[in-house]
């Protein structure tokens, strides 16, 4: 049964009120490969009301964590045999090479199980002994969650948003990015088939207007969003008016600081992934590479060779190591920044052109800018493409100052053979996440940003905790027993 013309609302696949459809375009060929409804405000309201109704009925909210985890674990069991199918959809929708997508999907399902295990270790009630007497601290679901995922990692980000919210007992409306709605249908189908009560999970596709209707809805208690800082600010304003909880994982302009004692091979391995993985469409990318003057030529040469080693091409070809950008619109954005960089006086050491034979689609060669200084737009603004900007420094103090000279604070790195120096730099760079001698995304530890990179943490135990409200019940010694 093809569900892609429908929305999941109140446990039933329904024809949307809106007759408008969003075409899903392959970034590899430019051809339309599917479509999804562009939900309007009435569709969104139906979904939110279904979530609110399920919360009020309480079947899911009042179930134990173990009972909720069992249902969500069944959904993961249903999805695992379809990993290859999901991977192919992700590759078709957004161009991630199939060799990477084939690993990413089972990994995402494993992260889902991590969230279930974590939730089962968090006590629903804790009793505190205080100077004012005993107090029980209850963890209760935050309520109705509106969750909006990005296109650059559609399936893994969906799992990371949905599983913590549901295992905590929330009801939710989930909206994928309009560029990548297709893989989420399989996920939604699995949740229904696993026995999730009606209305607990609702799947709504749509463009920006659907997102605005969702985050502004008065019955939404929390918004979880991953995407651009500009949209995050708009969401924050909506949530502030009604004091809705908000969790925002936004943009980045992360700096990788290469110290003078760094191992070249280790550094290039980290930068290959950190600067260019997923065609540079990663909010945590090392888009600024800070290099000591004494090793500038050596490291730039190695970085250029690393960029040139990528095989750009058809993402379904197992030999391809870099697929297209998500859309021709995104490619035009990246090409625009390449022109900005040149006009500011930076030099392209390699890349930045559309590869021969790949005029269709949204392909681009990975690029390395040299001669970059911190005041340039290419050193301050998020490009979101395979573009590494190399900046030179003379002292570690200067390198840290350059790294911190940013509106963003999502990720960062240091490359060095000295653990003590690594720890010193890690403490001094102001960012929510940091890696040493690598590019590491660790879903079992908190991930998120500071400054304009957002609020809250999307992974680790904190991801589950963020979907609870804490209620304190002040007790007397003769009333404490039911809470123990």
Q: Could you give the residue numbers annotated as active site?
A: 249
CB 464 within 8 A of CB 168: yes
Q: Which residue has the tokens 């089972």?
A: 106
* Rounded Cα distance, 302 and 189, in Å: 47
Which helix (H) or strand (E) is 248 found in, with range?
Answer: strand 245-249
Task: Classify residue 482 by its DSSP letter.
Answer: G
- Sign of the four-CA dihedral 438, 440, 444, 447: positive
Task: Classify residue 256 by its DSSP letter.
Answer: E
| Beta-bridge partner residues of 224 | 147, 247
Q: Which residue has the tokens 């060799």?
A: 99
- Exposed, middle or buried by CB within 10 Å (0-12, 13-18, 19+), for 15? exposed
- Exposed, middle or buried by CB within 10 Å (0-12, 13-18, 19+), for 163? buried
* Rounded Cα distance, 169 and 434, in Å: 31
Closest CA to 148 of 174, 167, 178, 166: 174
Q: What is the CA radius of gyration of the chain?
A: 23
Say which residues have a Cβ less than 8 Å from residue 330's Cβ, sequence separation at least 6. 281, 362, 384, 385
Give the CA angle between residues 97, 102, 108 to the nearest 5°. Answer: 115
Torsion angle of C-alpha atoms 351, 355, 359, 364, degrees rounded to 10: -40
Task: Classify residue 394 by its DSSP letter.
Answer: S
């Amino acid at each position: 049964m093809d569900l892609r013309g429908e929305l999941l609302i109140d446990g039933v696949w329904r024809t949307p009120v809106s007759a408008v459809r969003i075409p899903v375009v392959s970034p590899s060929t430019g051809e339309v490969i599917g479509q999804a409804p562009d939900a309007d405000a009435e569709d969104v309201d139906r979904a939110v009301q279904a979530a609110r109704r399920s919360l009020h009925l309480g079947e899911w909210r009042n179930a134990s964590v173990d009972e909720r985890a069992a249902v969500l674990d069944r959904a993961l069991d249903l999805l695992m045999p379809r990993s290859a199918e999901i991977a192919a959809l992700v590759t078709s929708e957004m161009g991630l090479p199939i060799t990477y997508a084939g690993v990413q999907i089972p990994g995402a399902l494993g992260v889902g199980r991590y969230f279930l295990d974590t939730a089962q270790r968090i006590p629903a009630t804790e009793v505190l002994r205080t100077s004012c007497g005993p107090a029980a601290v209850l963890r209760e679901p935050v309520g109705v969650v509106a969750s909006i995922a990005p296109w650059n990692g559609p399936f893994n980000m969906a799992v990371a948003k949905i599983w913590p919210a549901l295992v905590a007992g929330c009801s939710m409306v989930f909206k994928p990015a309009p560029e990548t709605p297709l893989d989420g249908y399989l996920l939604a189908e699995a949740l229904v088939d696993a026995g999730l009560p009606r209305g607990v999970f609702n799947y709504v596709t749509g463009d920006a207007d659907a997102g605005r209707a969702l985050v502004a809805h008065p019955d939404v208690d929390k918004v979880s969003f991953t995407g651009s800082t500009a949209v995050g600010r708009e969401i924050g304003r909506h949530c502030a008016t009604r004091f809705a909880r908000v969790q925002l994982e936004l943009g980045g302009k992360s700096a990788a600081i290469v110290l003078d004692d760094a191992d070249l091979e280790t550094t290039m391995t980290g930068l290959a992934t950190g600067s260019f993985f997923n065609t540079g469409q990663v909010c945590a990318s090392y888009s600024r590479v800070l290099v000591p003057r004494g090793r500038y030529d050596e490291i730039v040469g190695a970085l250029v060779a690393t960029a040139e080693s990528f095989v750009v091409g058809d993402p379904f070809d197992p030999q391809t190591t870099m697929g297209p950008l998500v859309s021709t619109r995104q490619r035009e954005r990246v090409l625009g920044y390449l022109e900005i960089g040149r006009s500011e006086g930076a030099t392209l050491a390699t890349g930045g052109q559309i590869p021969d034979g790949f005029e269709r689609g949204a392909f681009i060669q990975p690029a390395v800018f040299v001669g970059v200084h911190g005041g340039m737009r290419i050193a301050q603004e998020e490009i979101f493409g395979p573009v590494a900007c190399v900046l030179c420094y003379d002292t570690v103090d200067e390198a840290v100052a350059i790294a911190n000279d940013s509106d963003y604070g999502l990720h960062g790195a240091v490359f060095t053979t000295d653990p003590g120096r690594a720890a010193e730099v890690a403490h001094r760079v102001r960012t929510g996440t940091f890696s040493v001698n690598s590019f590491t995304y660790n879903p079992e530890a908190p991930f998120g940003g500071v400054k304009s990179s957002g609020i809250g943490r999307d992974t680790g135990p904190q991801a589950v905790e963020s979907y609870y409200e804490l209620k304190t019940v002040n007790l007397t010694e003769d009333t404490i027993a039911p809470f123990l």
